[in-house]
């Protein structure tokens, strides 16, 4: 058996990067069109910058809805990927059906609250007495179709996870092209003004949803039925866990937009520019900024599978080379953008209309100040995704939140007090400087440590042994219950092969991943352990060991300890699932004897290891670790190792009679 992913560790990196990154870039750029096309046509209509100010006010409110949609969609997609790896057709459709249903319910609540609190929300996000009526006209139409918008966005992530990224991109493209075609017709020919822009947008969204719904009638790895929509809180809680990082990311955009708009409206009113010009300009600036960021994010998203596999394989030279190429590409995109924004931003600004000298003055100033260090922003965003790709969600979160929340938000509040409306603009480059320093430090520490844990001992090949026909015994155990040793003794007593460390060695040999990396999957200890288990290198390792577990079982009777083997082999006809537990005090004493720990350290190890094992098992199987209903035999090992072995062997022999 050779892993289908091995080519990620052998193929030329530049070739892999080009293959994976281009579709990601195109997909992100297409989705950006929704956000920018309206403003180009509106800015060149009789509405001018007031129309753009209105859409800028509404935009962050719609981001709140998409935060929920993407969180549920990405969580459902990640859960689908886990189900694909473990060949689970039972739970995948339930997660997706639950996601669609709850997404729809949230969208209806959002619509009701939107109409109820419309004026409050619009004023909160920067509307003035002048722009309020325009924003209302735009928001009413957008709000009515929020369920369509949320459903389309949620489904798109699932379509990608189902192995059809091209179809997902086509769905978005249909909507974007429709929007581009209808905008000038509705705005200029029909003279519908801001309502025309809104109708063009929602019609495009409707078509995107229709295309997605068509796909859901011919999916590859799951089938939606009426039973899919029966709420299962256990499964949906895992979906939420997997999607929470997406939600936090999107809501950080809302916080940034909200605070920025409030400060610009407040201090703009005290300046010669007034309230509406700064709000209109920052909306345009942020959407142009998003296009640049989407290009570099597309590059690093394409690199994720390359980074993930090679990090898991401990081919650190390939990790470094991939990162180097990604960073070179990122810096080039950032520098080209910075040069345009600094030396002739009017090239971009004039696309959105040229209202007045005062408007052009503030717009030029905004692009030159706000985006001065855009190359730093690009590096920060790429580094955050890089850390996620190599299984380090804590560093990823630190990098992402430091620039956007920890630095930018306080600065955009404080600087205008001393600098007026321009202070809000300077918040971005100052946040970029602080953010890039933190990012460089974390990257330096990461690469300094990289490779130091590489094993220098040659790994002797381990073979899967042929065995007699009979039961496959899987042993799950609490830390310190002596389950590993008990499993070994059971195998000797029954004269069948035993697999524990051997399993990870075989998985490493056949997948190309590193043995130590695989062995530590359910021992990784950090506050984002659930998120860690969904990262690319871990996903490859889980797939590798599950293939090996099934191959081992195909060779005959054996004992397999840990690795959620009971779930992986759940459909095996001769499977016996055993869970070994013991009182905490007994387990603490066992750890103290085995590892010479003091009592406090032993207790910490027991608690931490049990938590990580449970997290790993629950994520892999969507079942509860230690639930007696999942096992054929649960036994308290505090009765003694020999007695426990005897009881298990008697249980097995009685089943074989």
* Beta carbons of 50 and 130 less than 8 angstroms apart: yes
* Beta carbons of 111 and 147 less than 8 angstroms apart: yes
pLDDT tens for each residue of 196-242: 999 999 999 999 999 989 988 888 778 888 888 888 777 777 777 77
Q: How many CB atoms lie within 10 A of CB 164?
A: 17
- Segment 240-251 shows an average pLDDT of 74
The token pair that represents 59 in the structure block: 């935009």
Q: What is the pLDDT of residue 10?
A: 75
Q: What is the pLDDT of residue 1?
A: 36
Q: What's the pLDDT band for 532 if we cut at 50, 70, 90? A: low
Distances (CA, A) of 334 to 14, 376, 441, 442, 645: 20, 8, 20, 21, 64
Which residue shows structure tokens 């997406």? Answer: 246
Measured at the CA of 164, the angle between CA 241 and CA 293, to 5 degrees, comes to: 65
489: left (phi over 0), alpha (psi -120 to 50) or beta: alpha
Residue 529, pLDDT > 70, answer: no
- Alpha carbon distance 80, 92 (integer Å): 5
Of the ranges 16-25, 510-519, 539-548, which one carries the lowest mean pLDDT score? 510-519
- Segment 157-176 shows an average pLDDT of 81
- Segment 391-419 shows an average pLDDT of 87
Q: What's the pLDDT band for 13 if we cut at 50, 70, 90? A: confident
Of the ranges 57-61, 88-92, 627-631, which one carries the lowest mean pLDDT score? 88-92
Query: What is the separation of C-alpha 307 from the centre of its chain, rounded to a whole number of angstroms?
Result: 15
- Segment 545-564 shows an average pLDDT of 84
DSSP β-bridge partners for residue 477 = 580
The token pair that represents 190 in the structure block: 């029909």
pLDDT tens for each residue of 422-470: 999 999 999 999 999 999 999 998 888 876 655 444 455 566 777 788 8
Q: How many CB atoms lie within 10 A of CB 154?
A: 31
Residue 558, pLDDT > 80, answer: yes
Rank 421-430, 507-516, 564-573 by mean pLDDT and report only the highest.
Answer: 421-430
* Beta carbons of 246 and 74 less than 8 angstroms apart: yes
* Beta carbons of 408 and 431 less than 8 angstroms apart: yes
* Beta carbons of 346 and 264 less than 8 angstroms apart: no
Q: Which of 590, 569, 585 is nearest to 641 (CA)?
A: 590
Query: What is the separation of C-alpha 145 from the centre of its chain, rounded to a whole number of angstroms?
Result: 26
Q: What's the pLDDT band for 521 if we cut at 50, 70, 90? A: low
Q: What is the pLDDT of residue 520?
A: 62
Q: What is the pLDDT of residue 438?
A: 94
DSSP state string for 547-568:
HHHHHHHTT-SEEEESTTHHHH
Rank 18-27, 176-185, 509-518 by mean pLDDT and report only the highest.
Answer: 176-185
Non-local (6+) Cβ contacts of 292 within 8 A are 333, 334, 337, 374, 378
Residue with more model confidence, 546 or 403: 403
Of the ranges 236-250, 334-348, 469-483, which one carries the lowest mean pLDDT score? 236-250
Non-local (6+) Cβ contacts of 357 within 8 A are none
The token pair that represents 297 in the structure block: 């994010």
Residue 390, pLDDT > 80, answer: no
Q: What is the pLDDT of residue 458?
A: 47
- Segment 234-258 shows an average pLDDT of 77
263: left (phi over 0), alpha (psi -120 to 50) or beta: alpha
- CATH code of 472-656, in short, is 3.40.50.300
Q: At what angle do helices 357-370 and 276-312 cross, to 10 degrees?
A: 30
Q: What is the pLDDT of residue 342?
A: 92
Of the ranges 215-229, 261-275, 472-486, 514-528, which one carries the lowest mean pLDDT score? 514-528
Query: What is the separation of C-alpha 628 from the centre of its chain, rounded to a whole number of angstroms?
Result: 33
The helix/strand count (H/E) of the chain reads as 26, 5
Of the ranges 237-251, 261-275, 387-401, which one carries the lowest mean pLDDT score? 237-251
Residue 508, pLDDT > 70, answer: no
Average pLDDT over all residues of the chain: 83
Rank 64-68, 217-221, 242-246, 310-314 by mean pLDDT and report only the highest.
Answer: 64-68
Q: Beta strands 558-561 and 575-581: pairing type?
A: unpaired
Residue 253, pLDDT > 90, answer: no
Range list of H helices, 269-373: 276-312, 316-343, 346-349, 357-370
Phi and psi at 232, nearest 5°, equal -125, 100
Q: What is the pLDDT of residue 3?
A: 45
Of the ranges 154-163, 202-211, 304-313, 561-570, which one carries the lowest mean pLDDT score? 304-313
Distances (CA, A) of 364 to 33, 280, 354: 22, 13, 11
- Segment 644-653 shows an average pLDDT of 88
- Alpha carbon distance 213, 218 (integer Å): 9
For 61-116, where are the E strands, in sequence order?
Answer: none
**CATH 3.40.50.300 spans which residues of the chain?**
472-656
- Segment 158-164 shows an average pLDDT of 78
With a pLDDT cut of 90, the percent of the chain lying above it is 22
Q: What is the pLDDT of residue 623?
A: 74
Q: What is the pLDDT of residue 511?
A: 57
Q: What's the pLDDT band for 2 if we cut at 50, 70, 90? A: very low
Q: What is the pLDDT of residue 254?
A: 81
The token pair that represents 8 in the structure block: 């990620």
Q: What is the pLDDT of residue 113?
A: 94
Q: What is the pLDDT of residue 509?
A: 62
Q: Would the CA dihedral through 485, 490, 493, 499 be positive or negative?
A: negative
Non-local (6+) Cβ contacts of 178 within 8 A are 200, 203, 204, 207
């Amino acid at each position: 058996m050779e892993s289908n992913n091995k080519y990620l560790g052998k193929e030329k990196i530049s070739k892999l990067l080009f293959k994976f990154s281009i579709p990601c870039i195109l997909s992100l750029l297409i989705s950006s069109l929704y956000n920018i096309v309206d403003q180009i046509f509106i800015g060149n209509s009789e509405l001018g910058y007031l129309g753009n100010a209105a859409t800028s006010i509404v935009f962050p409110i719609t981001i709140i809805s998409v935060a929920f949609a993407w969180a549920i969609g990405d969580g459902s997609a990640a859960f689908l990927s886990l189900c694909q790896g473990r060949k689970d057709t039972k739970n995948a459709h339930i997660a997706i059906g639950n996601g669609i249903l709850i997404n729809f319910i949230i969208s209806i609540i959002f619509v009701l609250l939107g109409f109820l609190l419309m004026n409050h929300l619009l004023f909160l996000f920067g509307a003035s007495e002048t722009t309020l009526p325009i924003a209302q006209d735009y928001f009413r139409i957008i709000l009515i179709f929020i369920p369509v918008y949320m459903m389309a966005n949620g489904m798109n992530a699932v379509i990608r996870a189902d192995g059809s990224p091209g179809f997902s991109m086509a769905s978005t493209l249909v909507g974007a092209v429709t929007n581009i075609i209808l905008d000038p017709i509705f705005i200029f020919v029909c003279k519908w003004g801001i309502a025309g822009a809104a109708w063009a947008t929602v019609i495009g969204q409707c078509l995107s949803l229709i295309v997605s719904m068509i796909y859901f009638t011919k999916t590859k790895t799951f089938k939606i039925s009426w039973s899919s929509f029966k709420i299962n809180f256990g499964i949906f809680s895992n979906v939420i866990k997997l999607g929470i990082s997406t939600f936090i990311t999107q809501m950080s955009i809302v916080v940034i937009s909200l605070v920025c708009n409030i400060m610009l409206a407040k201090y703009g009113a005290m300046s010669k520019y007034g309230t509406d010009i700064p709000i209109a300009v920052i909306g345009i600036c942020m959407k142009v900024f998003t296009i640049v960021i989407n290009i570099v994010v597309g590059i690093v998203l394409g690199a994720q599978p390359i980074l993930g596999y090679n990090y898991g394989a401990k081919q650190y030279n390939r990790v470094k080379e991939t990162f180097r190429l990604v960073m070179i590409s990122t810096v080039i995109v950032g520098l080209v953008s910075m040069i345009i924004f600094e030396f002739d931003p009017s090239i971009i600004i004039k696309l959105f209309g040229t209202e007045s000298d005062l408007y052009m003055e503030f717009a030029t100033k905004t692009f030159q100040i706000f985006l001065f260090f855009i190359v730093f922003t690009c590096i920060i965003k790429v580094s955050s995704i890089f850390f996620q790709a190599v299984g380090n969600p804590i560093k990823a979160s630190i990098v992402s939140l430091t620039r956007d929340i920890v630095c930018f938000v306080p600065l955009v509040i404080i600087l205008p007090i001393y600098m007026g409306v321009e202070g809000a603009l300077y918040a971005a480059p100052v946040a970029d400087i602080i953010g890039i320093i933190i990012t460089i430090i974390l990257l330096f520490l990461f690469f300094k440590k990289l490779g130091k844990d590489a094993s220098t001992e040659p790994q002797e090949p381990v073979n899967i042994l042929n065995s007699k026909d009979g039961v496959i015994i899987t042993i799950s155990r609490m830390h310190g219950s002596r389950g590993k040793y008990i499993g070994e003794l059971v195998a000797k007593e029954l004269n069948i092969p035993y697999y524990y460390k051997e399993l990870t060695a075989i998985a490493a040999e056949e997948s190309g991943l590193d043995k130590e990396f695989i062995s530590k999957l359910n021992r990784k200890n950090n506050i984002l352990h659930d998120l860690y288990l969904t990262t690319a290198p871990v996903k490859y390792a889980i797939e590798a060991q599950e293939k090996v577990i099934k191959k081992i079982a195909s060779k005959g009777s054996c004992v397999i300890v840990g690795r959620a083997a009971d779930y992986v082999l759940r459909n095996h006809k001769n499977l016996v699932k055993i869970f070994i537990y013991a009182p905490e005090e007994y387990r603490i004493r066992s750890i103290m004897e085995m590892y010479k720990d003091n009592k406090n350290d032993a207790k910490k190890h027991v608690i931490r290891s049990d938590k990580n094992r449970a997290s790993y098992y629950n994520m892999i199987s969507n079942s509860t670790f230690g639930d007696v209903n999942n096992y054929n035999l649960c036994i308290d090992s505090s009765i003694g190792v020999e007695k426990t072995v005897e009881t298990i062997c008697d249980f097995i022999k009685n089943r074989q009679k």
